[in-house]
Structure 1
Amino acid sequence: MKPASAKEIRDELKHQDREELLQIVLRLSRFKKENKELLTYLLFDAQDEEEYRQKVKMEMDAEFALINRSNTYYTKKGIRKILKNVKKYSRYSGKKETEVELLIYFLQKMNDFKPSIRRNKILKSLYERQLDLAKKNMEKLHEDLQYDLNLELEKLK
């Protein structure tokens, strides 16, 4: 079955009353964890973006603390999982400022990570790609923000 386009869905939602919309949203939240996480962001966290970023950073800190450092396979897997979550939380926000700030924080945590990521070719490559992505996304921000965030990026090089 082919899903309807975003325009078709939007047009159909215009014809629904409040109670039907509520039921649709609640039913949607039951199917995937990501749907529920996005609804949580939209309902509770979208009003205060700074607090949202702090929550994500605290979660990142906790995840970095839990990484298995005994085996490089598990270390790489743990770091990739954290990066995947950072990307997901950035996508929920949809704001480039949040994306760049979370990415820079992730890079800082990787830089401080022990054992050093510099010894592992795969982790070093992942670090470099994310650094380039942060630079690229920074260009879309206001000049004042670019200057502040660029200072943070210079420390990471």
Structure 2
Amino acid sequence: MKAVTVANIKKELQHRSTEELMELCLRLAKFKKENKELLTYLLFESHDENGYIETVKSHVDEQFELINTKSYFYIKKSVRKILRSIKKFARYSLKKETEVELLLYFCDKLKSFEPSIDHNVTLTNIFERQMAMIKKIASTLHEDLQYDYHLKAEEIRQK
């Protein structure tokens, strides 16, 4: 089955009633976990972006505590998993400030992680790529925010 374009879906949705739209949304939510997470964000958390960021940060904290530190192999797998979830949560928000905040928090946690990431090239590269991503995204924001995020990024690098 070939999926139709978003434009075609939008046109079709304009012809549906409110009840039909609600049924379609509920069916989407039942079909995939990510759809349910996105609907949860849109319905319950989008009005309080700071609360959403704090919720994601606490989720990241939990994930960092669960990392198996016996080998760098397991650490790398877990760090990549955490980063994927951060990217997913940032995608829900669509706000660049939220993405920068979450990536800064991730880099801060990664830099202060024990055993040190400095002893592993892959983890160091992950850290450097995310710092470059922060710089790139922050450059599109307002000058005051750019300055604040630049200071935070430099503070994390100095750790």
TM over 0.5: yes
Number of equivalent positions: 157
Aligned to 1:153: 153
Matched, 1:52 2:79: no
Distance in 1 between the 2:5 and 2:33 partners? 22
- Structure 2 counterpart of 1:56, which letter? V
TM-score when normalising by structure 1: 0.98
Q: Structure 1: which 4+ aligned runs deviate by more than 3 Å?
A: none
Distance in 1 between the 2:119 and 2:102 partners? 24
Matched, 1:2 2:2: yes
- Structure 1 counterpart of 2:114, which letter? K
Distance in 2 between the 1:143 and 1:63 partners? 33
- Structure 1 counterpart of 2:77, which letter? K
Distance in 1 between the 2:140 and 2:101 partners? 13
- Structure 1 counterpart of 2:11, which letter? D
Identity of aligned residues (%): 52
TM-score when normalising by structure 2: 0.97
Please list, as runs of the form range in 1=range in 2, the aligned pairs for 1:7-156 lying within 5 A after superposition: 7-156=7-156
| Structure 2: gaps spanning 5 or more residues | none
What is the deviation of 1:115?
Answer: 0.2
What is the deviation of 1:156?
Answer: 2.1
| Structure 1: gaps spanning 5 or more residues | none
- Structure 2 counterpart of 1:31, which letter? F
What is the deviation of 1:101?
Answer: 0.6
C-alpha RMSD over aligned residues = 0.7
